[in-house]
Amino acid sequence: MTQRRTTPYPTDDRHVSGGFEDGWAHRRRWEDPVRSANVSQALHSLSSAHREILVETYFRRRSVNEAASVLGLPVETVKTRVYEALHALRAALDAVDPPRPARPRWYAEPGT
């Protein structure tokens, strides 16, 4: 009879240091500053209302109700502005860094 593992998955980070995560580590080193600059540029291209609502809800991690009370706006207006701001941010990000075409499932990264 085989003995059953007491925990189904490892509880420490040893499993993260090998395999999939390490294959992408070299990309994160140069992509994160580039991505950060692109997001910053896209945020600055938004209107002040859209930028303000994203700062309150995303960067300051406030709920819609909290953002509404801080900004003095109705909750429905905050919801609408968040929706519009996210769409405007996506369009701005696509203008800064156009999306790359999807690769087929069978495509393997070189060196993997």
pLDDT of residue 49: 94
pLDDT of residue 112: 57
Q: How confident is the model at residue 3 (pLDDT cuts 50, 70, 90)?
A: low
Two structure tokens written together for 89: 């941010």
Alpha helix positions (H), the chain: 20-45, 48-54, 64-71, 75-96
* Averaged pLDDT score across all residues of the chain: 76
CA distances from 65 to 8, 56, 78, 81 (A): 39, 11, 8, 13
* CA atoms 30, 31, 36, 37: torsion sign: positive
> Could you name the CATH architecture of 40-96?
Orthogonal Bundle (1.10)
**Global pTM?**
0.60
Contact 93, 100 (CB under 8 A): no
In tens, the pLDDT along 71-85 reads: 999 999 999 999 999
Domain boundaries, the chain: 40-96
pLDDT of residue 75: 97
